[in-house]
Amino acid sequence: MTPEELAAVIDHTLLQPTATVADIERLCAEAVQWGCASVCVLPYYVPLAYRLLRGTSVTVCTVVGFPFGATSRRAKLIEAEEAVMSGAREIDMVLNLAALLNGEEGEVERDIAAIAAVVHRRSGLLKVILECGLLTEAQQYRAAQLAAQAGADFVKTSTGFLSRGATVEDVRRLRDVLPASVRIKASGGIRTYDQARALLEAGASRLGTSATALLLEEARQRVTKR
C-alpha cells in the first residue's frame, strides 16, 4: 500500500486523558496533512477538533460509554447527542459487556439501536466496540450479530485500554459472521506496517491507531524500495 492509501483508512487517534489542546491541534494538523479518514478524540475535544477540521475531508470521531460500556443508556444517549451536536460524525461506542455476559441480549441490542438512531439522524457512522480480548469466540460472534442487527455501521475489535489489541484472527472471525454491509475497525496495538496490512487483508476496513506516523513512514520506505 502507498502511504496515501494507508492514511485513508486510519482513524488518527488520541484518547489519553492527559491530552492537551496543543496535542489535539497537532493531531488534527497531521490528519489533514496525511489524508486520514478521521481523528478520534475524547468527547471534551470534539468542538475543538470540529473547528480545526471544518472544510477538510477529515471527520471527527469520538467515544461513547468509554472505556467500559457500563453506563446507562440514558447517559450514552446524552453523550452521543452532545457529540453529534458538537460536530462528531463518527461515534465509537463500547458495547455493554456486563449485559452481554449476563445473557441480556435484548438490553445489548436496544442500547446499540438507541445510539444508532441518534448518530444516523445526523448522517453519521456508528462503530460498536466489542473488546474481543475479553470475550470467547462464541461471545464475539454473538456480540457482532447483535451489533449488526441493531444498526451498527462498523464493529470495532477493542478499546485499546482494557485488553489485548486487534488480531488477524479477531478480524477474520468477525468478517465471517457479519453481513457485507457492516464493516470492521481494527484497533489497539497497531504499530507496524506489516500488522496494519495483515489486518486489512483479513477484512478490516478501518484502523484505529495512535502510531500513524510510524505506519506511514514504514509505508514510504516500502514504496521507495520497490
Judged against a pLDDT cut of 80, whether residue 225 lies above it is answered with no
User: Is position 225 annotated as part of the catalytic site?
Assistant: no
Select which of 11, 111, 127, 185 is catalytic: 185
User: Is position 76 annotated as part of the catalytic site?
Assistant: no
How is residue 56 written as a grid cell?
Answer: 477538510
Which residues make Cβ contacts (< 8 Å) with residue 53, sequence separation at least 6? 28, 31, 32, 39, 59, 60
Select which of 11, 92, 153, 170 is catalytic: 92
This prediction has a pTM of 0.95
Minimum mean pLDDT range among 15-29, 137-151, 212-226 = 212-226
Summarised one tens digit per residue, pLDDT across range 152-211 is 999 999 998 887 889 999 999 999 999 999 999 999 999 999 999 999 999 999 999 999
Select which of 127, 153, 156, 170 is catalytic: 156
As a whole number, the mean pLDDT across the chain is 96
User: Where do the domains of the chain lie, and which CATH numbers do they carry?
Assistant: 3-225 (3.20.20.70)
User: Is position 156 annotated as part of the catalytic site?
Assistant: yes
Q: What is the pLDDT of residue 224?
A: 83
